[in-house]
Amino acid sequence: MTEWTDFRHPNCCPCHTTRKIAYTVAEAAIRVGVSARLLRTQIDKNYLLARYVNSKPIIAHDDLVSWLNSLPTEAR
């Protein structure tokens, strides 16, 4: 899987060959491999930036990557 293919349907059709520019919390959690609850906590603590469509949080791809890159490289 690369960032340019969909994780569920790699290379099956043109609609899955470009990356999404934003994800729901659930989609972002799947992409990163953590729980949606953890991401919501990170949003609540302002560690991860979310934008809102009405009351629904969405996470921009670049913000998700920035958050991931800000995490420690060693376990606590």
Contact 18, 10 (CB under 8 A): no
**What region, left, alpha or beta, does residue 33 occupy, with left being phi > 0 and alpha being psi -120 to 50 degrees?**
left
Distance CA 25, CA 30 (A): 9
List pLDDT tens digits, range 4-45: 444 555 555 555 556 799 999 999 999 999 999 999 999 999
What pLDDT is stored for residue 46 in this prediction? 98
Residues 6 or more apart whose Cβ sits within 8 Å of residue 21: 60, 61
**Banded pLDDT at 1 (limits 50, 70, 90):** very low
List pLDDT tens digits, range 54-65: 999 999 999 999
Distance CA 8, CA 59 (A): 19
What pLDDT is stored for residue 8 in this prediction? 58
Tokens for 37, please give them.
């609850």
Domains of the chain as residue ranges with CATH: 21-70 (1.10.1660.10)
